[in-house]
Structure 1
């Protein structure tokens, strides 16, 4: 039997059997994955899996990666392997809705032209002149190379796509590795939807331009809102709406200081049924009084606290106080013409941002003006995660000091740092109850006359700046209803929701001026086109917030993941210890050198004439002693470095021995033990 097995025919038969077994095993376990990494880097989160199952359209992913050009860059190649493996997981989780292509765009090839057609750009390597592609293109529907998305509106005002949608990630930078899954999931989700997400805005300031009564012409839209209009279907609601439309993916509130009780109730119900909200409050909204605003002349800056809803959410903005921060104060023009640091106008950097939240992780600078401070109330039912905080040398000053402030130096009079970080923007999550336990608020008996009625800024701006599409047919009664901010759905009262149907997800920002152009972007008119030159990341922050909140609960649940590159912590510790020892000895050498020089100067001070040029015996002995000490310390420095190298080498040797001998030995012992156990059972 043994001879037959080892004959030529037997070996061939055995090889064929092994090959067939391998094929069968591969087919049987095609979808099997075992992720042994500590942070499960190759395992998609449940939120991503839900998104892949809920895609409305098939999505094609094209990864453009210059494989040949990065042969000498192991860090980038390793990261590219991880991206490819993760994309393979997306394909598997989608159940056929996502397909993947990997393309190497070599120079002067059709593949490079294709990458350029999609808007990808080659990035030069720092160590040479080579340029590499490492980006991702996501296509849905009938989108083709280099085509922009065409959006048409039907009679029902529902946006649909003609040729699909196209989105790109220009370059996978290793520094943004923690958010790799979020970026890819967001990309796929964006193109996998048939319609553009709808964002509803309720604002107390004319963020979409409105009408400037002083100049008698339409005002300029805020660039932060213009960016949103380019990405989403933005609709402006009045301050007296009674319901929020069901198709609204995100509600943005900007200085909601004059909204009606009906609107507050509508916002409350929208949030409780699972709607997401982005809220901009302000203890002193300077932009609400710029140029007289919509009030026609010189009104004082307003404030918005939204106490009715924030009380139910368990959050508050400290009343009548703004955050003063000396460490981040920006310089403005003073009365004397010289720049003066303004305690209320803050330029916050990366040290003030939450590093593990996708909204703020990649921001560099955001400017605030007279921002408030958010606090979590006692026994609050929600969790507040700070996104942006002030520095430790901050204080809360009275907002009334900002009125008629001609010299910013006056603010320093009452400034005493509290040694506390104040929260300027935060994410609010948790289960909440309604702010209206007694039901929809009843209309007040007294009605304001037409002269004293609060002006509905956003409703009027709609009439002035946003005429209805020609295709739409609207009756006079319906048009009047739009102007007044009423909703047809308000006629049919829906059952009140008393508690959140799922955990709410809100972002609250304690500043409205952060949206205004003056704090982050310079806008110039260039031959009829607006040219925006940003000098801060305020606009990026707003887009990140909207992008994150509007996705859905699954997309929001995807947070930062671990790093693919794992440092040698033991080696790092050895290097830190050696560096500390090296610096101590180097400091001792420097100190002895200074002492020697002082002694030589003291001995030289009493000499005159030709004697000053000749070293005395004492000086020569001191120099000789120092030279000996210097050689000794330098030898000790070399010993420290040598010992570090030796420790690292010994550590590597131990690891090699473990991998070569100990692990196989353990496996052998385990196999022998199992064999002995099996033999005993048979007998």
Structure 2
């Protein structure tokens, strides 16, 4: 039997059988996929599947990647392959609604001109070297006709100019957002309600001129349709995609309008503050308005609250500022946070570098609230809550250290709130409250007339939109406990260049605002998409070894600094004993002995530092050898033993 199997005819029969079996499997299981990766890297989230299945019009995706130019660069090619595989998954689940084109824009080709014409970014691999494209263009496929330049200009398009590997965790979100954006017929509308003139029109004390819109708001004006509703609003239009509240000092009628808007499915971005310097709460208060906003009524209904009368002081992240004494000091209330304090798994904060806050409050979930409270930005454990009243007329930030005692707790500075909520007005629309000065009959008559008009208006609104007692589905709200975070002074320098404003950002505050708005203006499926796992697998054991070595290094270095300070103190003490003597400038025998001891101790500690670093290198090398032994020797030996065991067992079974 065995000789027949390995004869020429038998081998041919085996090959034919294998081919037939392969073709049959491909035909039967066409489109079937099994994702065996730990983080399900190649499995699209349910939010993406819902978004793609609900597409009302076709979409064409054009993935431009310079494959020929990246020959010999496996890192970039591997990432491009992963992007391409993910895009193919989109096309696979779309049922023909998404068409995918893979294009290699070779140098001086029509494809390269096409990529540049769409606005894709060519990135140089090295100084003066090759330039490569790795961008994605989404085209509205409903009226796709690129036969002429005129038709091209009418086609709606969205693009990702360069798919950076640094944003790999948010690749699915970026692609899904691209598809969602290109299918929208118009720009989303934003509505702002603010007690601070963020849209301009106020008076700038510094320039003695009318103030310009804050740069964070100017960014939004370029991307969305933005309108200012004012503080006396009584209803929110249905076509508003996102409501932005900034230091909201709202009447009950205005709060009711916001309440019903959110319950109808509207999204909200709220900036509260225990002490707003932008509203005149700095060292030189301008007055005229509230410098804090808690929005207790609405926040209570949404299951969130900001700790009243307190701001977060964080010694670890305090920024250096000028003081009334002319010296630069660290300000416990002006804080700068990096990636370690930001939620790396949320599309809003996952790729931000630095966020600066000033007199920021602390958010927390109310006890018993049935919502999901997800912190986006948190303080370090070297934090405490201080009275916001200390910030009023504060000339020397060093004063804040007097009452500062870190609690070891972590405070939430910005959070995402989702889940079902109830109305803050169970009795329905509140009645307008009108206050008139005593004895002024004319004013009272006018206010009575306004009251009647308001009541009639309320009746009309009540007829048009029935009062809601709760949300139909989960709400989507982001709350930030600071308004200064979006003011220019904390993140951007703005200069006037020939009548145009030129912005030079030094922090990511503006990016955070755009990310928040970008995220909340999408539909619920898009908001539900979070970051996916990393394709690259870090050497966690090596990272742990490095952290341990760093801790030992810092401890030894701290010992050296303490030795240095002790020696300097001893030298100063000996020098003071010699004041007024002739040999004041000459080292005494005691001073010389102290210096000698310190030099010896310094050399000893420096040797210890080198030993720590050498030990780290030895630990990493030892780990590498162990992995090599396991992969090269142990695994093959185990497989060989298993194969021999199986062969011996089969032979015994055959003989039996």
TM-score class, shorter-chain normalisation, is 0.7 to 0.9
Given the alignment of the two structures, is residue 418 of structure 1 paired with residue 397 of structure 2, yes or no? no
Given the alignment of the two structures, is residue 530 of structure 1 paired with residue 501 of structure 2, yes or no? yes
SS in 2 for 1:327: coil
Change (3 A) 1:201 1:663: farther
Paired residue for 2:386? 397
Paired residue for 2:156? 165
| Displacement of 1:9 | 12
Q: Give the whole-Å Cα distance in 2 for the aligned partners of 1:663 and 1:123.
A: 51
Q: Give the whole-Å Cα distance in 1 for the aligned partners of 2:548 and 2:214.
A: 54
Paired residue for 2:570? none
Paired residue for 1:227? 219
| Displacement of 1:340 | 2.3
Q: Give the aligned CA root-mean-square deviation in angstroms.
A: 4.4
| Displacement of 1:435 | 0.9
Tell me which moved more, 300-309 or 177-186.
300-309
Paired residue for 2:629? 650
User: What's the TM-score once normalised by structure 2's chain length?
Assistant: 0.77
Contact 2:493–2:505 (8 Å) recurs in 1:
yes
Matches within 5 A, 1:5-24: none
| Displacement of 1:269 | 1.5
Q: Give the whole-Å Cα distance in 1 for the aligned partners of 2:502 and 2:643.
A: 66
| Displacement of 1:324 | 1.7
Change (3 A) 1:487 1:10: farther
| Displacement of 1:375 | 1.6
Contact 2:157–2:182 (8 Å) recurs in 1:
yes
Matches within 5 A, 1:320-331: 320-331=309-320
Paired residue for 1:372? 361
Change (3 A) 1:661 1:191: farther
| Displacement of 1:128 | 9.4
Contact 1:149–1:166 (8 Å) recurs in 2:
no
Paired residue for 2:123? 123
1:507 equivalent among 478, 496, 506: 478
Change (3 A) 1:205 1:666: farther
Contact 2:282–2:394 (8 Å) recurs in 1:
no
Q: Give the whole-Å Cα distance in 1 for the aligned partners of 2:442 and 2:144.
A: 54
| Displacement of 1:366 | 1.2
| Displacement of 1:106 | 2.0
Q: Give the whole-Å Cα distance in 1 for the aligned partners of 2:468 and 2:480.
A: 26
Q: Give the whole-Å Cα distance in 2 for the aligned partners of 1:668 and 1:97.
A: 53
Contact 2:310–2:388 (8 Å) recurs in 1:
yes
Contact 2:356–2:491 (8 Å) recurs in 1:
yes
Paired residue for 1:241? 233
Q: Give the whole-Å Cα distance in 1 for the aligned partners of 2:540 and 2:26.
A: 37
Given the alignment of the two structures, is residue 205 of structure 1 paired with residue 196 of structure 2, yes or no? yes
Tell me which moved more, 109-118 or 653-662.
653-662
Contact 2:65–2:135 (8 Å) recurs in 1:
yes
Given the alignment of the two structures, is residue 315 of structure 1 paired with residue 294 of structure 2, yes or no? no
Q: Give the whole-Å Cα distance in 1 for the aligned partners of 2:137 and 2:315.
A: 44
Paired residue for 1:96? 96
| Displacement of 1:74 | 2.0
Paired residue for 1:543? 514
1:439 equivalent among 400, 422, 428: 428
SS in 1 for 2:200: coil
Q: Give the whole-Å Cα distance in 1 for the aligned partners of 2:504 and 2:21.
A: 63
Q: Give the whole-Å Cα distance in 2 for the aligned partners of 1:452 and 1:401.
A: 40
Given the alignment of the two structures, is residue 516 of structure 1 paired with residue 487 of structure 2, yes or no? yes
Matches within 5 A, 1:402-481: 402-444=391-433, 446=435
| Displacement of 1:658 | 7.4
Paired residue for 2:291? 302
Q: Give the whole-Å Cα distance in 2 for the aligned partners of 1:63 and 1:553.
A: 26
Render the CA deviation track for 1:546-588: whole Å, top value 9, x for unaligned: 1111111111111111121234667888x879989x99xx99x
User: What's the TM-score once normalised by structure 1's chain length?
Assistant: 0.74
1:279 equivalent among 270, 275, 279: 270
SS in 2 for 1:79: helix
SS in 2 for 1:555: helix
Paired residue for 1:49? 49
Q: Give the whole-Å Cα distance in 2 for the aligned partners of 1:314 and 1:669.
A: 68
| Displacement of 1:253 | 0.8
Q: Give the whole-Å Cα distance in 2 for the aligned partners of 1:553 and 1:213.
A: 40
| Displacement of 1:323 | 1.5
Q: Give the whole-Å Cα distance in 2 for the aligned partners of 1:538 and 1:345.
A: 14
Contact 1:395–1:416 (8 Å) recurs in 2:
yes
1:191 equivalent among 170, 182, 196: 182
Q: Give the whole-Å Cα distance in 1 for the aligned partners of 2:320 and 2:542.
A: 44
Matches within 5 A, 1:552-571: 552-567=523-538
Contact 1:143–1:149 (8 Å) recurs in 2:
no
Q: Give the whole-Å Cα distance in 1 for the aligned partners of 2:200 and 2:335.
A: 25
Q: Give the whole-Å Cα distance in 1 for the aligned partners of 2:547 and 2:521.
A: 48
Q: Give the whole-Å Cα distance in 2 for the aligned partners of 1:450 and 1:363.
A: 58
Change (3 A) 1:665 1:28: farther
Q: Give the whole-Å Cα distance in 2 for the aligned partners of 1:254 and 1:523.
A: 21
SS in 2 for 1:249: strand
Gaps of 5+ in 2: 445-449, 558-613
Paired residue for 1:495? 466
| Displacement of 1:174 | 2.5
Change (3 A) 1:437 1:645: closer
Paired residues in the alignment total 579
Q: Give the whole-Å Cα distance in 1 for the aligned partners of 2:298 and 2:537.
A: 45
Q: Give the whole-Å Cα distance in 1 for the aligned partners of 2:468 and 2:17.
A: 65
Render the CA deviation track for 1:401-447: whole Å, top value 9, x for unaligned: 22222222222222222222221111112222111111111223645
Q: Give the whole-Å Cα distance in 2 for the aligned partners of 1:446 and 1:229.
A: 37
| Displacement of 1:662 | 7.6
Contact 2:436–2:443 (8 Å) recurs in 1:
no
Render the CA deviation track for 1:75-112: whole Å, top value 9, x for unaligned: 22222111111000111222222111111122222222
Q: Give the whole-Å Cα distance in 1 for the aligned partners of 2:401 and 2:137.
A: 52
Paired residue for 1:354? 343
SS in 2 for 1:303: coil
Q: Give the whole-Å Cα distance in 1 for the aligned partners of 2:442 and 2:413.
A: 37
Q: Give the whole-Å Cα distance in 1 for the aligned partners of 2:212 and 2:336.
A: 24
SS in 1 for 2:356: strand
| Displacement of 1:213 | 8.6
Contact 2:356–2:485 (8 Å) recurs in 1:
yes
SS in 1 for 2:169: helix
Render the CA deviation track for 1:186-229: whole Å, top value 9, x for unaligned: 11111121222222211111111124397886420011111111
